[in-house]
Amino acid sequence: MRTVNLLVAIAAMAGIVTGQAQAWEALPDKAPEPADNPTTVAKVELGKMLYFDPRFSSTGSVSCFSCHNVMEGGDDHMPTSIGVHGQKGGRNAPTVWNAAFHSVQFWDGRAASLEDQAKGPPVNPIEMGMTSLGAVIDRVRAIPGYKPYFEAAFGPGEVVTMDNAAKAIAAYERTLITPGSAYDRFAKGETAALTAGQQRGMEALQAVGCTSCHQGPAFNGPALPIGTGFFMKFPTIAGSPYVTKYDLVADDGRFVSTSAEGDRHLWRVPTLRNLEFTAPYMHNGAVKTLPEAVRVMASTQLGQTLDDQQVDEMVAFLMSLSGPFPLQTMPRLPATPGDLLD
């Protein structure tokens, strides 16, 4: 119940009311980082290696990258993801781009940090399918070439640990951010960065009420301490025709992980950045296009039916939240022992 009360309290505190003036904020150039895991070049390098390495899945074929493709939208283009043995997961892969600006992770916010999140998929039987985190780090230890990278990141000694692996992956993910979009330039005063239509779309986003939840620089809610989630019920308006059309209540949301009745159909508010690259949409990936996603949200959350021009302009604005994506070099992965994947 705590999360619901918190949500109400925050909404009151922040004065979130449809139509109220809001400051349009640019994304910071640096993601927040926890005191016990400052981002360093050595950690980012190691984290990138681990992120791309498929050898830490039971079959040796699935890595973080498999479902969170940083060469595109940070997801995998599918309604729900495919893990080991061709198994399909239950929810749409959330984008890793700007995940560092979420105060909790996963669709249902069940991980309090990027570090915690990184320990989930490896031992999910549908995703990477390892039997335990101990088995995961045993695989890392069995590849001798990793040790120097752990030592460079965490100092000498017994540093090849799951906690350090998760810290390195989180450090890498904190570099996966996209400040500098057309919207960000506009928010910093470059008024020509958005077209007139995009600016009308931006105003509509606020007038229609989307920014009640999708606010702040990542359009994912108010600034909250890491570990404190910003949740919303979805769908809110049970009578919306889209609820049946897209099967929006089949998944109980946060209730699945907390078993708290107040968490039924509660979801962490996702970012609106880079939606251009993350179709299909919603927690179940049931909505295929961005215009339709805008209509669905207006109807299910705000009880509104938008006209085509509103939709077009809101979509035009949402496209201004794309990229720019940092140019990345490919990691080099250390050689494998031939019996690693027996």
Q: List contacts with its own copies (CB under 8 A).
A: 52, 54-55, 59-61, 66, 69-73, 76-79, 82, 84-87, 276-277, 279-281, 287-289, 325, 327-341
Task: Compare residues 267 and 281 and give the one whose CB is closer to its own copies.
Answer: 281
Quote the least distance from Cβ 186 to its own copies, whole Å: 21
Task: Compare residues 97 and 230 and give the one whose CB is closer to its own copies.
Answer: 97
- Reply yes or no on whether 127 is catalytic: yes
One-letter amino acid identity for 221?
G
Closest CA to 215 of 129, 273, 299: 273
Quote the least distance from Cβ 314 to its own copies, whole Å: 17
Long-range contacts of 237-246 (CB under 8 A, 24+ apart): 237/299, 237/300, 237/301, 237/302, 237/303, 240/296, 240/299, 240/300, 240/303, 241/299, 242/295, 242/296, 242/299, 242/300, 243/300, 246/282, 246/284, 246/286, 246/287, 246/296
Task: Compare residues 61 and 199 and give the one whose CB is closer to its own copies.
Answer: 61
Q: Evaluate the omega torsion of the peptide bond into residue 324 and state whether it is cis, within 30 degrees of 0.
A: yes
Active-site residue, from 115, 127, 292, 313: 127
Give the separation between CA 236 and CA 242, rounded to whole angstroms.
12
Quote the least distance from Cβ 23 to its own copies, whole Å: 29
Give the separation between CA 182 and CA 193, rounded to whole angstroms.
5
Task: Compare residues 70 and 321 and give the one whose CB is closer to its own copies.
Answer: 70
Quote the least distance from Cβ 147 to its own copies, whole Å: 17
Q: Which sequence positions are flagged as catalytic?
A: 127
